[in-house]
Structure 1
Amino acid sequence: MLRLLTCFLFALSLALAQDTVAGRASVIDADSLEIQGSRIRLWGVDAVESSQTCLDARGRVWPCGRRATFALSDFLGQRTVYCVRKGTDRYRRMLAVCSVGGVEINRWLVEQGWALSYTRYEGAVYLDSQKRAKAARRGIWQGSFQEPWTYRANPANPPSAGAPRPSKPSSDIYYRNCAEARAAGAAPIYRGQPGYRPGLDRNGDGVACER
């Protein structure tokens, strides 16, 4: 019995170890980290891409993506970051909720106005924080911006460190339906972008798989 209990506890500790990561974090971009060689995508949020720009209250361009990345890096510093797995994304990165100094990083990013609640896949977990950031005009809410998922969908935009581009040529990208396009994070798809085809554009307005 003791040997069986020991084996069970060992298996449990191994499973828990695989689902948690702790250590000093390298910031890839505002919603992507690397800890001890593990790439981690923060679950439930979508931050502006490192190559992305926004407009301030006066309509002036500013590097919101880089500012978001620097803000997260400054916030973490050299402190130990703890991450708990929520899943795995299509790039084999750990999807996780992370914390530092007792503060949840995912929620902090949204509250500071550097990320949006990623309602497309994870639901409305951080919408309350997003509303507070918008009301206070923090971060990207000080002016106007393009949603990160829309920015990534445009192949004309520069790639970002935390957002890998599809490895296959644009002409080879084919989505059987809009559910498949959304699962790949490509929707909405504009005419001329990879994966667009008239069969997905129901109303013929040049935008496929829009909600």
Structure 2
Amino acid sequence: MRHLLPALLLTATASAQVPASVTGIPTVTDGDTLQIRTTKIRLYGVDAPESSQTCLRAGQTYGCGREAAFALADLVRNKNVTCLRRDTDRYGRMVAVCTVGGTEINRWLVEQGHALPYLEYGGSIYRDAEDRAKATRKGLHAGTFQAPWDYRRNPANPPTTGTPRPATTPAPVGGSGGSVSYRTCAAARAAGAAPVRAGQPGYGKHLDRDGDGIGCE
């Protein structure tokens, strides 16, 4: 029990520092992760493909993680988002249900096929949304894909920008705009993200050698 006390105290401290709710114009880290000012937010009950993840559609490989991030970015661009905390994860992030203009973002991502219900963490409430996405073959369901939680377990896969992988793989380097970028152009190309432009998820100045705002040309 004595060994558990420091961990419990750290968890309690982290929870106390995370607000119960936050509203503002967010930046998008990946398909299920936002940041509003200094608050990092992991969307409750859903799991989107990682930024470095690729999937298959019509026999072609595409950046499904990148597609999910762009869809989320389009939904919230220049709009106020309100997030209500449901939990605090072990990385100190707010785990929340977020809304924009009357639309619940968590459910919308699953309905559009850009995320899956994260059953291990409360995602059963989105099973109906997943059924609709499957029936209409939206997003991921238009092809074949690996579940994000399985993708993260494989240390051979490129690093991710959203949920950290519990392994010894170095994290991606910091990018511009408060996001996280691909470490190398090889990683960006493997994710189907090259070229990557300034302001897009994954962009970093170290990828843009001529400084024209387009990396990995």
TM, length-normalised to structure 1:
0.70
CA RMSD of aligned residues (A): 1.8
Give the whole-Å Cα distance in 1 for the aligned partners of 2:105 and 2:77.
13
Matches within 5 A, 1:79-118: 79-118=79-118
Matches within 5 A, 1:198-209: none
Counting matched residue pairs gives 154
Shift, 1:28, TM fit: 0.2
Describe the SS at the equivalent of 2:124. Answer: coil
Distance 1:20 1:160, change over 3 A: same
Q: Does 1:120 align with 2:120?
A: yes
Q: After TM superposition, which residue ranges in structure 1, 4 or more long, deviate above 4 angstroms?
A: none
Give the whole-Å Cα distance in 1 for the aligned partners of 2:62 and 2:26.
26
Distance 1:59 1:100, change over 3 A: same
Structure 2 gaps of 5+ residues are 1-15, 170-217
Distance 1:123 1:114, change over 3 A: closer
Distance 1:139 1:167, change over 3 A: closer
Shift, 1:18, TM fit: 2.5
Shift, 1:120, TM fit: 1.4
1:189-209 alpha-carbon deviations (Å, 9 max, x no partner): xxxxxxxxxxxxxxxxxxxxx
Give the whole-Å Cα distance in 2 for the aligned partners of 1:61 and 1:139.
13
Shift, 1:163, TM fit: 2.0
Give the whole-Å Cα distance in 1 for the aligned partners of 2:127 and 2:136.
14
Distance 1:24 1:119, change over 3 A: same
Q: Does 1:20 align with 2:17?
A: no
1:69-126 alpha-carbon deviations (Å, 9 max, x no partner): 0011011110000000000111110000000001000000000000001111214110
Q: Which has the larger radius of gyration?
A: 1
Structure 1 gaps of 5+ residues are 1-14, 170-211
Distance 1:68 1:168, change over 3 A: closer
CA contact (8 A) 2:46 2:123 kept: no
1:144-178 alpha-carbon deviations (Å, 9 max, x no partner): 00000000000000111102234658xxxxxxxxx
In structure 2, give the amino acid aligned to 1:21: V
In structure 2, give the amino acid aligned to 1:69: A
Partner of 1:60: 60
Partner of 1:159: 159
Give the whole-Å Cα distance in 2 for the aligned partners of 1:140 and 1:104.
19
Partner of 1:193: none
In structure 1, give the amino acid aligned to 2:56: L
Higher relative contact order (CA 8 A, sep 6+): 2
Describe the SS at the equivalent of 1:95. Answer: strand
In structure 1, give the amino acid aligned to 2:137: R
Give the whole-Å Cα distance in 2 for the aligned partners of 1:30 and 1:142.
17
Fraction of identical pairs, as percent: 56
Partner of 1:131: 131
Partner of 2:34: 33
In structure 1, give the amino acid aligned to 2:150: T
